[in-house]
Amino acid sequence: MDNLEERTKHLIEMETKMDEVIEKEKDLDQAISALEALPDLLAPLDQWLDSGQWLEDFRLDEQHAFGDLPRGSLSEDGLYNLQMSLVEKAQELEALCRTFLRSRNFSD
């Protein structure tokens, strides 16, 4: 009976672990969706910066032309720091993916 009790306890633990992995898989699905959306979200910001309009808007902001509007995108370093943060996260994800694949014997 002890053996059956131990196996039952072990099975319950394994079911709990599997449930935890399933939840993490859902988290990964959301992260993948977020990452897939980023290029389309960043494109207008990149165009704004590259067109020179950002600089014009920045100068207008220095004259308080926009009043109380949120203007974090006009921060001199805000967009750059955001993009660098995204690059760093993507590099970290890439490294984590490679480590995970190696641990599962699926390395490239």
pTM: 0.79
pLDDT digit of tens for each residue in the chain (108 aa)? 579 999 999 999 999 999 999 999 999 999 999 999 999 999 999 999 999 999 999 999 999 999 999 999 999 899 999 999 999 999 999 999 999 999 998 876
Is the sign of the CA dihedral 106, 99, 32, 38 positive or negative? negative
Residue 83 lies in a domain: no
The answer to whether the Cα torsion of 20, 25, 26, 32 is positive or negative is positive
Answer yes or no: is 98 within a domain. Answer: no
Establish if 87 belongs to a structural domain: no
pLDDT (tens digit, 9 = 90+) per residue, 56-79? 999 999 999 999 999 999 998 999
Residue range of the domain that includes 34: 2-76
Q: Is residue 41 part of a domain?
A: yes
Q: Per the structure, how many domains does the chain have? A: 1
Q: Does 106 reside within a domain?
A: no
Residue 101 belongs to a domain: no
**Does some domain include residue 61?**
yes
C-alpha–C-alpha distance, residues 56 and 61, integer Å:
9
Q: Is residue 81 part of a domain?
A: no
What tokens appear for 104 in the block?
């599962």
